[in-house]
Structure formats: structure tokens, C-alpha cells
Amino acid sequence: MWGGDTEGNYLDTSFTDAKAVVTPAFAPGRGIYYITVSYRGKGIIKAGFLYDQPRNGVELVENDEYYMDPEENTLSYRFKLRDDSPVRYKIRLTGDAGDGDYVQLLDVRIAPSRLSYVYPVFICAALLLLFDALLVFYDKVYRKWPKERRVVSLILLLAALYSSLPLFQNGLSATGDLIFHLHRIEGVYQGLLAGQFPVRIQPGWMDGNGYAVSVFYGDVLLYFPAILRMVGFTVQDAYKIFVIGCHIATAAAAYFSFRKITKNDVAAATGAILYLCSARRIYSVYTNTAAGTYSGMIFYPLIVAAFWQLYTEDVGSKAYKRLWLPLAAGFGGLLITHTLGCLVVGSVSLVLCLLMIRRTLRKETLRELCKAVLAAVLLHLWYLVPLIQYMATEKIHINRNLAEEAAAGDYYALLAKFAATGKNGYEFIMDQGAVGCSLALVIVLYIITIPWHPKTPYTRAARVLFGYTLCVLWTCSAYFPVTGIAQKSGIAYKFFETIQSQDRILSVVVALLACLGAVLLSLDLFGHKTTYIFAGILCGIALYQNLQYFETVETDTVYLEEADVNARMGKHPYDYGLGNAEYLPVAASTYNITKETVSSETLTVTANDRRYLTYDTTVINNADAEGHIVYPILYYSGYRAVDRTDGTVLKTAAGDNGQVDVTVPAGYAGTFRMAFHEPWYWRAAELVSLAALIWGFYDFFIKNKRQKGVSYGDQKNYRSCVPQVRQSRAGD
């Protein structure tokens, strides 16, 4: 603790010799701490820790300094010291300070956290579990693989780590939606601490007013970094581990899926690397920082492989009866990671089903599609029920905007921003977030090698894949008649406005092109040696393309910690950083958000204890009329005020500026708890999803294991889509 009963140190623009207010040096030691800073100020204020002795000219710890809100008097957050060096706490005015701006540091209190002991124990336990898992995997699986598969699996792992190179430097590139998604991680973390499960209203947004982002934006995968936050990881380190995990999961899912199609390890691994290192995906990770997009892309290959097999495999095989599993897993995973991505892929899949209508209407195919839809809905009913309810009943910006824009009717103006993201031929190849050189080369190689393609069902399926890929690519182009289609179809207009940008469909294109690359190499047109050369060239171009891109990423990094994330919610200090504020109640304005509880004059509030989004309020109303208490919490359906003694429910509604308003009856005297309560049918939906998950686990891992030879995609049941050219050469 520094400060205590002193009045603190003062600094304003009249001081010429002093640049900052700095505490005496102290050395709490390596560990995790909670800090509370009391201050006063006006203007733009920055603060942070600095070393008592600069290191190679660097004064700030982690080279980090964050904004402080002058309207606040205190700041509390958790931080980590990585060594035992003495440090100081520093607070200052920026160079933009004007007359009347000042800063006064009153008190700095530091308390050690028990996480200092939990964190190393967790690290040791996690490393031991990982080591044990790797040993089991090596003994039970890896040793039984053929040599080629063992080699490509290691190459895939290295490719995933290579894609993670920018994450191994200190700091993050604070571009795109990074702050928004770091806040989502913090929101899930705080929601779990508040006792929510699953998290619905994230507590920390807008100075604790809460934001229902978890209802509208699936965040299941974010529970992993949120748990890392709970055991002591910084938000930056938790995010980096999450991204590395997404890289590895994407490589594994793509390899698994493409191998189901090609039955060729090298071809599948090449397709997986092309997909993993595609320009569109890497751009989504490091520049656009769209966590929903790149985490959702884990599931795209599963859907591609499932549709390939739905339309090519023998409908009478036992394996065909299990094709609903990858389809349900793909769409379900996409739904709870990136709902807009699920909408895009669902639309593209629907068009494919219509184009392949004769095969779609086969009894067996329809059965698998219906089973997949039913399974996906049941597994994710816990997410769908709140989403549908809020979309249908809540007065939020996403509902109002679509209705107002559709009424305007000027589609050229309304869709100008959407159509501006359409690409021309040059941009498809050269833009950072487009197709890229390696996948463009797949198109060229496929066209060149057409004369050598054998006439088999497999190559005919490949041509359908190629043709459909070009069609989907066209929908991303500047030549696609977006406005003309919107004028003729209101449904199409709402679809375009909902997915927000035309190039969002590019994520589907790169998955299709990567699959096409794997299929092309599996044809083995010119012998194994030439196939390996082509695979090496394609992967080399993809990796080199990323290396050139990484050189630009590493030049724009900043350190981001809990205090930084809270201060950097937008483009400038004190902006709430809600993006387009789609999920904000229409009645609320961020400029008028209050941080204090406001009550009617007739009420006497004797206690008002808060924990996250829950208040315990003791109040007396001696008047003959009702009184009102408005809480600094945004109102969404589900907030209730219940008397702690007799269970009486007090009326709760949206009050001033869309914040929670509790009506206190005349003559009331007691204590009530105002908190968010999930409706019973939300809980019922969660139980249904849990039951579906248990049944799915039993069906896939236990029942399927007992029925030997019935596994999805079994080699002996893979008839019409095996390349015949490789079968004939096997006998040469």
C-alpha cells in the first residue's frame, strides 16, 4: 500500500519540471495482485507501472500504459508481475492537456491474490495432463498409423504453430474487432464469477450496465479462455492460447474432413494447409480480428465433406446412415461460434440442395438431412430459445434497423456498403482478406489438368465441386447483381443486410477451394513424385504468403491487459466500443448511461449492495403512492425484483434510458433482490440440449464402437467416389 491518509500528489499544466505523479518504489515480488487506485483528474489521463530502473531504455512494465476515466475516482483491476524488480505506479496528463486539466494521485493499494498459488499449480497440472494425453495418443493411435500419416500429422502441427507466429511476440495487434472480442472473453469470465451458467448477460459492459451479447453471439469456445482468466492468466495470454487452439483445431478438422473425401493423407494434409493458411482466414485472425469468423471456420470443412458424401456415397451403405453426424456437428458448431456464418453456409447449402434436387429428394438423403437438422436444433436449443425470444420480443437496434431500412426502398444506397466489399479479379488474388495466390493456383491447375482427368464418378463429383465453387465465388465479386436481386426479393435484401458484407461469403469459397485442391492432388494424375511436388509448391506459396503478411503484423503491436481492455473499448478513450450496437435496447443511449442508482424522493433507501448484476436493496416507502428505483443496468427481459422475506415479486420494467426500473409499492418496507432470472423454458431448453449431448456421446463413442465396421466413412463402404485411376495403378 502507498498513500494511505495523505492527500496525494498533484500535477497540472502549470508544472514545467514535473511530467507525472509517481509513487515511491516498491517490490511486491513475482505474482498476481489486485490494485485499487484513488485519484482525481480532468483531461486525458494515462497510468501504468514503470520499472524503478529502466531496462534498455524501456521504462514502462510490459511497455504498457492505459487511459483512466477522469469522471471516476477509483480504478480496480488485476495484474501480474513477472519478476521481482522494484516498480512504481505512474499517472500523468498527455501532451494534449489544456488549461484547467490536472491529475491528483490520492492512494494506491495493492493486495496479493491467491491466484499467485493457483496459477503455477494449474500450469503444472495442465502440463502433466497434456503429457499423459500425448503418451496415450502416441501409444494407442500414432504408432498404429502408417508412416505417411505420421509425417503429415507432424507437418500439420508445425503449420498450425507457424500460423501462430505473431502470437509469440509481446503484445497484440489492436486492429479490427480485437477489443470487442477481448471484452467478450472478459464478459464470460465475469459472468461465470457472478454465478451465471450459461452466461447470458455479460456484466462488465458500459461501466457495469451489462450487455446481452451472449444471447445473440455464440460464445461457447470463449469459455476456454474465460476459465484461463479465472485461474490467473492475463486476458492477453488467454486470448493467444485460444487463437493457437483455433489454429490446431482448424488444421485437424480440415485434414479429417478432406481425408474422408480423398482417402489420401498427402492430399488431405495439403488441402488442410491451404485452408489453414488461406489469406481470408489469416486476415480474419490478425487484421480483421474477427474471432467469430475464424473460430467458425473450424467447422466449414466438416460441412463440405458431409455434403460431398451425401451426394456421392452409396445410399445403401451402413456408413451413409451416419452422415448426419458430421453435418450436425458442422452446422451446430458454426451456430454457436458465428451465427452469421451459419446463416451464410446454410444459404449456400440450401442452393446446393436445390441444384442437386434429384439426389436431395432421395429417401435416404432426406433422412440424413432431417436427422442432422433435428440433432443440431436439439443440441443447441439452449442457445436458440433465448435468441429467438429476444429477436422476436425485445426492442433492440438489430430489429429496428432492418425494419426502417426496408421501408426506405433505396436499395442502391442501402446496399452500397455491402456491395463495396465485392472483389474484382485482381483483388481476389492480391487483397489480404481474399482468396490469395495459393488457392487461385488451385483453380489454374484444375483447369489445366482437365484433359488428363479420368472419367470416373469421383472426377464427375470434382467437376460439380469446381463449378459450384466458381458460382459461390461469383457471389463475392463486384459483378454479382446485389441491388437487382434485392429489388426483386425482400428476403434477399434482408439476407444481404443481415450478413453485413459481401466478402463474408469468401470464407465458404476458401473452404471449397481447399477441398478442390485436396481432390485434385488425390487424382494422382502424373505419379506420386509429381503429386508431392505440386503439394509442396502449393503449401510453400501459402506459407510464404503468410510470412510476407506477418512482417506487417509485428510492426503494430500493443500490450493489452485488463485495465487496457476496459479503457480501449472504442477508437478513443471512454467510448463503450459496442461496434454497431446491434444488441443495445432502442430506448438506451450510451451518452446518457448512469452509474448510480436513482430513487424517487418518497423512498428511503437504507442499503443497496451490488454484486455484478445483482442488487440487494433495503427500502422504505411511507408514501401513499408507488415509488421507483432505477438501477444502472440495461433492461432485458428476465430481470426480476423479489422480496427476500415473503417472495413478493415487485414490478420490473424498462425505465429511464432503457435501464432497469423497479416499482416499490406504497407502504413497502423490506429488502428485495433485483437480479436476472432465466425463464423456466430457457432452463427446459438447456436440459433438452444436455440430454441430446449425452445421447449423442453414447451413440458416437459407445454404441458406434460396439458396432464394428459401421464407422462414418469406412473404407470398405466408400464405393462410387474412390478414384479409379489409383485403383488401376495399384495393379501395375
The CATH number linked to 645 is 2.60.40
202 and 62 in a common domain: no
Q: Which of 65, 92, 114 is the last residue of a domain?
A: 114
Structure confidence at residue 528 (pLDDT): 84
The rounded distance, in Å, linking the Cα atoms of 541 and 539 is 5
**Do 692 and 673 fall into the same domain?**
no
How many CB atoms within 10 Å of residue 84? 11
Ramachandran area for residue 463 (φ above 0: left; ψ -120 to 50: alpha; else beta): alpha
Q: Examine the fold and report which residue of 86, 114, 142 is the final residue of a domain before the chain moves on.
A: 114
Same domain, 255 and 325: yes
What is residue 671's predicted lDDT score, i.e. its pLDDT?
A: 94
Instruction: Check if the beta carbon of residue 362 is closer than 8 Å to that of residue 315.
Output: yes
- Please indicate, yes or no, whether residues 224 and 371 belong to a single structural domain of this protein: yes
Instruction: Give the whole-angstrom CA distance, residue 156 versus residue 612.
Output: 43
Cell, residue 46 = 494515462
Residue 465 cell numbers, joined: 465441386
Residue type, 655: G
Residue range of the domain that includes 370: 172-559+687-717
Give the tens place of pLDDT for each residue, 573-630: 455 567 677 888 988 887 788 788 999 988 999 999 999 999 999 999 988 899 999 9
- Residue keyed to cell 510464404: 544
Query: With contact defined as beta carbons under 8 Å apart, do 626 and 664 qualify?
Result: yes
Domain final position from 678, 700, 727: 678
Q: What is the mean pLDDT of residues 168-192?
A: 88
The CATH number given to whatever domain includes residue 107 is 2.60.120.260
How many CA atoms lie within 13 Å of 228's alpha carbon, on the beta-carbon side? Answer: 18
The single-letter code of the amino acid at 545 is Q
CA gap 507, 510 in Å, rounded: 5
User: From CA 315, how far away is CA 311, in angstroms rounded?
Assistant: 9
Q: Which of 204-213, 484-493, 494-503, 575-584 has the lowest mean pLDDT?
A: 575-584
Nearest to 170 by CA among 232, 237, 230, 233: 237
Residues 198 and 315 in one domain: yes
Scored b (16 or more CB within 10 A) or e, 396-422 reads: bbbbeeeeebeeeeebeebbeebbebb
Cell numbers describing residue 509: 469459397
Q: What integer pLDDT is reported at residue 404 of this predicted model?
A: 54
User: 128 lies in a domain?
Assistant: no
Q: What is the pLDDT of residue 424?
A: 85
Tell me whether residue 136 is in a domain: no
Chain CA centroid to CA 587, Å: 27
On the question of pLDDT at 410 being above 70, the answer is: no
The verdict on 454 and 518 lying in the same domain is yes
Q: Which residues of 95-109 are buried (b: 16+ CB within 10 A; e: fewer)?
A: eebeeebbbbbbbbe
User: Is the model's pLDDT at 490 over the cut of 90?
Assistant: no
The reply to whether 333 and 297 lie within a common domain is: yes
- Establish if 146 belongs to a structural domain: no
Pick the more confident residue, 563 or 371: 371
Q: Are residues 267 and 285 in the same domain?
A: yes
Q: What is the pLDDT of residue 172?
A: 84
Residue 8 confidence class, pLDDT cut points 50, 70, 90: low
Q: Are residues 706 and 667 in the same domain?
A: no
| Beta strands in 267-409, from DSSP E residues, in sequence order | none
Whether residue 422 has pLDDT greater than 80? yes
pLDDT tens for each residue of 656-703 = 889 999 999 998 999 999 999 999 999 999 999 999 988 877 777 666
Q: State how far the alpha carbon of 520 is from the alpha carbons of 276, 388, 544, in Å.
A: 18, 42, 22
Query: How far is 529 from 521, CA to CA, in rounded Å?
Result: 11
If we measure between CA atoms, which residue out of 673, 668, 568, 659 comes closest to residue 617?
Answer: 673
How many domains does the chain contain in total?
A: 3
The answer to whether the CB of 306 falls within 8 A of the CB of 192 is no
User: Average pLDDT for residues 198-221, to the nearest whole number?
Assistant: 90
* Per-residue model confidence (pLDDT) at position 58: 80
Let me know if 346 is exposed, middle or buried by CB neighbors in 10 A (0-12, 13-18, 19+): middle
Res 611: pLDDT: 93
Residue 242 and residue 309 in one domain: yes
Predicted confidence at residue 560, as pLDDT, reads 76
- Does 131 reside within a domain? no
> Which residue bears the cell 480504478?
75
Per-residue pLDDT at 720: 43
Q: Provide the pLDDT for residue 1.
A: 38
Residues 545 and 640 in one domain: no
Q: Which three cell numbers stand for residue 621?
A: 416507502
Beta strands in 117-264 (DSSP E): none
The C-alpha atoms of residue 283 and residue 650 are separated, in whole angstroms, by 50
Q: What's residue 680's pLDDT?
A: 94
DSSP per-residue string spanning 382-440: HHHHHHHHHHHHS-BHHHHHHHHHHHH--HHHHTHHHHTT-B-HHHHHHSTTS--HHHH
Q: Which residue has the higher pLDDT, 439 or 593?
A: 439
What angle in degrees, to the nearest 10, is found between the helix axes of 506-522 and 339-355?
60
Residues 292-318 have pLDDT tens digits of 999 999 999 999 999 999 999 988 888
Whole-number pLDDT of residue 569:
56
Query: What confidence score (pLDDT) does residue 652 get?
Result: 95
Q: What is the DSSP letter of 476?
A: T
- Position 578 scores a pLDDT of 72
In a domain, 154, yes or no: no
- Looking at residue 7, its pLDDT comes to 58
**Contact present, 648 and 623 (Cβ < 8 Å):** no
pLDDT score recorded for residue 589? 82
Spell 518-532 as b/e; 16+ CB within 10 A means b: bbbbbbbbeeeeebe
Is residue 728 predicted with pLDDT exceeding 50?
Answer: no
Q: How high is the pLDDT of residue 6?
A: 43
Dihedral sign from CA coordinates of 80, 20, 170, 178? positive
Whether 698 and 662 map to the same domain: the answer is: no
**Of 471 and 491, more confident:** 471
Q: Is the pLDDT of residue 713 over 50?
A: no
Query: In this predicted structure, what is the pLDDT of residue 330?
Result: 94
Task: Identify whether 724 is part of a domain.
Answer: no
Arithmetic mean of pLDDT over the chain: 86
**What element of type H or E holds 110?**
strand 102-112
Domain-embedded: residue 392: yes
pLDDT tens digits for 372-396?
A: 999 999 999 999 999 999 998 888 8
- Whether 284 has a pLDDT exceeding 90, the answer reads yes
On whether residue 469 sits in a domain, the answer given is: yes
pLDDT value for 727 = 40
Residue 15 has pLDDT above 90, yes or no: no
SS3 599: strand
